[in-house]
Amino acid sequence: MRGDPILLGFMLVMTGIVVFARDLRFSLLGLSLFSVLLTVQYLLLHAPDVAMTEAALGAGLSTLVFLIAIRKTEGPRYD
């Protein structure tokens, strides 16, 4: 069983965004979208238990933890 090639292509694009983004929030958005795409991939591979875990932990909890960490470590803005 192989996954959807279009979905895998989008996952590759999200990986590039995560690695090469200069803004941490933009990188976090890419990571969150990667987790959502990975959830869909698991559903297509008939693994709903793994998909639910990935959605809860990968797209939900880890995104929230990283967002809180970015906000707490961000310095003052001088615009």
- Give the residue numbers spanning the domain of 10: 5-73
Q: Exposed e or buried b for every residue in 16-33, given b needs 16+ CB within 10 A? A: ebbeeeeeeeebbbbbbb
Q: What is the pLDDT along the chain (79 residues), one digit of tens a residue?
A: 566 889 989 999 999 999 999 999 999 999 999 999 999 999 999 999 999 999 999 889 999 999 999 889 887 777 6
The answer to the question of residue 29 being in a domain is yes
pTM above 0.75?
yes
The answer to the question of residue 78 being in a domain is no
The answer to the question of residue 26 being in a domain is yes
Specify the number of domains making up the chain: 1
The answer to the question of residue 27 being in a domain is yes
The answer to the question of residue 79 being in a domain is no
- At 2 the pLDDT is 67
